């Protein structure tokens, strides 16, 4: 509570000090008001021109060309162009298009002009709606409109031209890279073909390397030897059965045998041999095997004929016994199989020896061929991808040049109001009115602090440490009171006049009337 009382006393003390120097406050406020109003009156008018443009980067072709053409990020391009619009080259370009650089003589003046334009240009965006607003303020209304139109033209031109220029640059770069990889691909193909010609006969077959061929040939040789042994065992058993049949009396189960079955097989084998000779040479393993089988069949037929001639009795038995006849056919087939397997074993052994002899050569050839193929595949892959990318870039360029990927819709053309937007003289005059009073009363308060007056015992005791023995009260006479009332009336009148003049000036400026210019015109008219 005491603190609140102290604060009240302090406030009252300051108010008394201001009131003591009140005429100084009003005297100071008047010249400040006049000076401020004149300064506001002299501020040059600025007209603000603006334009609103809607940018739509959506396109019906985008979902149709997804994966076929390169999709440009036009929203990012627009954001970049907005930032680029306020760059020094574009502002200098706008100044030259507006002929604002005619009176510029030095680089410093040019820099000052560009900075002035930069400070007066403003770009605001509503990205949710895709609306962009470009504003510019200038003392000349039409110049402000032309500047906004120039900036809009630069913005549209740069935005539409960026994607096309980027596509041209990309295609040129891809063409250069394709030519480079085409040369590399040709060189890799020539190296690979030359290597194949130099190492003909020892190249890997069907992608199989040397060790897989060696293992495969070993497996085939082992299988052929096993088949040969099986055929030899089968032949020996058949011969034993034939010997048993020849020693047995076939009195009840005899049939007539003839050589017609062997003749049929010989005929089939001859046909098969002729077919093989049409496909292969005489040195081919299949041809050799067919010949051996044919020779074996012919030899067997001759042996049968000779056997029938020597032993008519046995011949009759053979002719009359079906089992004996089948065994003869089976042993013939077995003999042919044995010959075929022997030939196959011989061929596989030669191939096995040949592969073993190349143990130090073939792996090196295979490794070198793999390296050449790897280089070739890498160049081919890069070449193919570059060609695909170039086609995508060309399609994208055709799409961008043939359709409106970015649609500019000018919602509001460049326009400036007939009344200047700057300065707001009524607002500035109000501020001058308040500031002048604040400065005047502030000076009166400062003077009271520099030359303090004590109005009661409490103020005096607070300022000095000496004890106060007593005080004398002041009694104002009627004349003093009348004089004081007259002084208060004059002071109130001075403040009212101050406020009235200030409000009048504010009203005049609010109507767009320039006071000094109007007075000059009237004086000139007189």
- pLDDT tens profile 9-21: 777 777 877 888 8
Residues 6+ apart with CB under 8 A from 335: 235, 296, 300
Q: Select from 256, 342, 255 the least CA-distant residue to 296.
A: 342
For residue range 64-95, what is the model confidence (pLDDT) as tens digits? 445 444 445 555 656 666 777 788 888 888 88
pLDDT for position 291 = 79
Task: Report the alpha-carbon distance of residue 383 to residue 184 in Å, rounded.
Answer: 9
Q: Is the pLDDT of residue 207 over 50?
A: no
Residue 214, CA distances (Å) to 70, 355, 446 in order: 51, 6, 114
Tokens of 121: 């240009």
Task: Report the alpha-carbon distance of residue 276 to residue 360 in Å, rounded.
Answer: 36
Residue 69, CA distances (Å) to 65, 275, 383 in order: 6, 57, 18
Q: What percentage of the chain has pLDDT greater than the value 90?
A: 5
- Ordered alpha helix ranges (H), 403-477: 425-450, 457-463
Domain range list for the chain: 2-43+423-525, 47-178+393-416, 210-360
Q: Lowest-pLDDT range, 334-348, 455-469, 502-516?
A: 455-469
Task: Report the alpha-carbon distance of residue 306 to residue 316 in Å, rounded.
Answer: 14
The model's confidence at residue 224, banded by pLDDT at 50, 70 and 90, is: confident
pLDDT for position 199 = 66
| Choice between 285 and 115, residue whose per-residue pLDDT is larger | 115
For residue range 474-523, what is the model confidence (pLDDT) as tens digits? 777 788 788 888 888 888 898 899 989 989 988 888 887 878 777 877 77
Task: Report the alpha-carbon distance of residue 69 to residue 403 in Å, rounded.
Answer: 14
Q: What percentage of the chain has pLDDT greater than the value 70?
A: 72
- Note if the pTM is more than 0.75: no
What is 47-178+393-416's CATH number?
A: 3.30.1890.10
């Amino acid at each position: 509570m005491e603190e609140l009382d102290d604060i009240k006393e302090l406030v009252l003390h300051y108010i008394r000090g201001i009131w003591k120097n009140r005429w100084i406050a009003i005297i100071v406020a008047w010249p400040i008001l006049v000076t401020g109003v004149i300064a506001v009156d002299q501020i040059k008018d600025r007209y603000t021109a603006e334009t609103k443009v809607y940018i739509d980067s959506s396109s019906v072709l985008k979902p149709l060309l997804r994966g076929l053409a390169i999709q440009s990020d036009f929203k990012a391009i627009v954001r970049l162009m907005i930032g680029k619009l306020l760059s020094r080259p574009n502002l200098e370009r706008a100044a030259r298009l507006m002929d604002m650089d005619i009176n510029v003589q030095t680089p410093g003046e040019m820099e000052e002009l560009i900075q002035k334009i930069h400070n007066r240009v403003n770009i605001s965006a509503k990205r949710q709606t895709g609306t962009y607003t470009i504003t510019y303020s200038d003392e000349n209304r039409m110049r402000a409109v032309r500047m906004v139109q120039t900036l809009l033209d630069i913005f549209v031109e740069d935005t539409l031209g960026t994607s096309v220029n980027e596509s041209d640059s990309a295609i040129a770069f891809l063409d250069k890279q394709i030519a480079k990889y085409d040369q590399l691909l040709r060189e890799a193909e020539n190296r690979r073909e030359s290597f194949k010609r130099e190492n003909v006969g020892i190249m890997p077959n069907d992608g199989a390397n040397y060790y897989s061929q060696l293992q495969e040939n070993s497996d085939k040789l082992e299988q052929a030897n096993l088949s040969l042994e099986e055929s030899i065992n089968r032949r020996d058993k058949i011969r034993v059965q034939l010997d048993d049949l020849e020693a047995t009396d076939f009195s009840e189960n005899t049939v007539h045998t003839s050589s017609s079955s062997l003749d049929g097989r010989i005929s089939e084998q001859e046909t098969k041999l002729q077919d093989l000779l049409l496909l292969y040479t005489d040195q081919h393993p299949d041809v050799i095997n067919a010949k051996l089988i044919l020779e074996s069949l012919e030899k067997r037929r001759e042996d049968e004929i000779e056997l029938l001639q020597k032993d008519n009795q046995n011949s009759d038995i053979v002719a009359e016994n079906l089992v004996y006849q089948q065994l003869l056919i089976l042993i013939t087939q077995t003999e042919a199989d044995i010959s075929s397997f022997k030939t196959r074993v011989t061929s596989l052994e030669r191939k096995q020896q040949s592969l073993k002899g190349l143990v130090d050569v073939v792996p090196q050839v295979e490794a070198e061929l793999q390296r050449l193929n790897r280089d070739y595949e890498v160049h081919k892959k890069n070449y193919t991808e570059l060609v695909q990318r170039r086609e995508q870039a060309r399609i994208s360029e055709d799409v961008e040049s043939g359709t409106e990927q970015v649609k500019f819709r000018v919602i509001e053309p460049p326009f400036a109001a007939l009344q200047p937007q700057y300065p707001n003289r009524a607002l500035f005059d109000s501020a001058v009115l308040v500031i002048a009073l604040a400065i005047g009363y502030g000076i009166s308060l400062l003077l009271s602090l520099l030359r303090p007056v004590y109005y009661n015992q409490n103020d005096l005791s607070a300022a000095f440490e000496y004890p106060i023995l007593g005080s004398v009260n002041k009694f104002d006479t009627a004349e003093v009171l009348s004089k004081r009332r007259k002084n208060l009336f004059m002071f109130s009148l001075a403040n009212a006049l101050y406020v009235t003049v200030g409000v009048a000036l504010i009203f005049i400026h609010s109507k767009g009337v320039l006071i000094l210019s109007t007075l000059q015109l009237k004086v000139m008219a007189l």
